[in-house]
Amino acid sequence: MSTKDERHAEAMAKQKAKVDANIARADEERGVAVLLTGNGKGKSSSAFGMVMRALGYGQSVGVVQFIKGKQLSGEEIYLREKCPQVDFYQMGTGFTWNTQDRSGDIAAAEKTWAEAARMLADERLDLVVLDELTYMLAYDYLDESTVLSAITARPVAQSVVVTGRGGGSALRDVMDTVSEVKDIKHAFKAGIKARKGVDF
Ligand code: ATP
Ligand code: MG
């Protein structure tokens, strides 16, 4: 073995010892609360990656999208058509982002939240995705303490994924994993149209 190989082997052994120690230390078995936030692309698509993972193990999954219903997406089509076992709910056309119809939007947000709250209380669900939930908090359409209580009081074995920019420090505090997707560059800003299968 060359000295370079030896040094590499030594470094790998050290790394492995570190990883093994961390694995041994992480002995708590429970669901995790994940927040995917930030301005870059990759929050919702990561959440749906976890949906795929969970389904791969035959786990039960619930998804609630806090977005306007007219934006059709590949994940919606796929889950509705190919995964009838997934509990899927979308805010739908009741929501307008129209400042003139704030009370209508709040009503739509609350109706959608009722579905999310039902899922967060359902012991049968292994994974619950609350896509774009942060905006409901940012716009004060949902009561923050109600949302945070439901997340923290969920069944021990259930994991929850929340996506969306912002969301506030109280939300961060109750989550176990918080990742910020940073915008370095985005095709859209260079004039490239949003792409089917990539962006929606
Ligand atoms: P994705 O669903 O692709 O994972 P996301 O959930 O991180 O994206 P959202 O803010 O929910 O981001 O926006 C969804 C749409 O906006 C997608 O089409 C995505 O490509 C686009 N988008 C996300 N980030 C940016 C950005 N920084 N600039 C322009 N468009 C963006
Ligand atoms: Mg998103």
- 128-166, pLDDT tens digit by residue? 999 999 999 999 999 999 999 999 999 999 999 999 999
- The pLDDT assigned to 83 comes to 97
pLDDT digits 0-9 by tens, 100-114: 778 888 999 999 999
pTM above 0.75, yes or no: yes
Q: Which residues surround ligand 2, an ion (CB under 5 A)?
A: 43-44
Residue to mutate, 35, 36, 37, 41, ligand 1, most ligand atoms under 8 Å from C-beta:
41
User: pLDDT by residue (tens digit) across 25-65?
Assistant: 888 899 999 999 999 999 999 999 999 999 999 999 999 99
Check residue 95 and give its pLDDT.
Answer: 64
- For residue 74, the ligand closest to its alpha carbon is 1
Predicted local distance difference test score (pLDDT) of residue 67: 84
Task: Spell 115-138 as b/e; 16+ CB within 10 A means b.
Answer: bbbbbbeeeebbbbbbbbbbbbbe
Ligand 1 atom, smallest distance to 73 CA: 2
pLDDT at 149: 98
| Proximal ligand: closest to the CA of 165 | 1
CA 20 to centroid of ligand 1, rounded, Å: 36
Of 2.40.50.140, 3.30.420.40, 3.30.460.10, 3.40.50.300, the CATH number of 31-190 is 3.40.50.300
- SS3 string, the chain, reads CCHHHHHHHHHHHHHHHHHHHHHHHCCCCCCCEEEEECCCCCHHHHHHHHHHHHHHCCCCEEEEEEEECCCCCHHHHHHHHHCCCCEEEEEECCCCCCHHHHHHHHHHHHHHHHHHHHHHCCCCCCEEEEECCHHHHHCCCCCHHHHHHHHHCCCCCCEEEEECCCCCHHHHHHCCEEEECCCCCCHHHHCCCCCCCCCC
The answer to whether residues 184 and 40 touch, using CB atoms and an 8 Å cutoff, is: yes
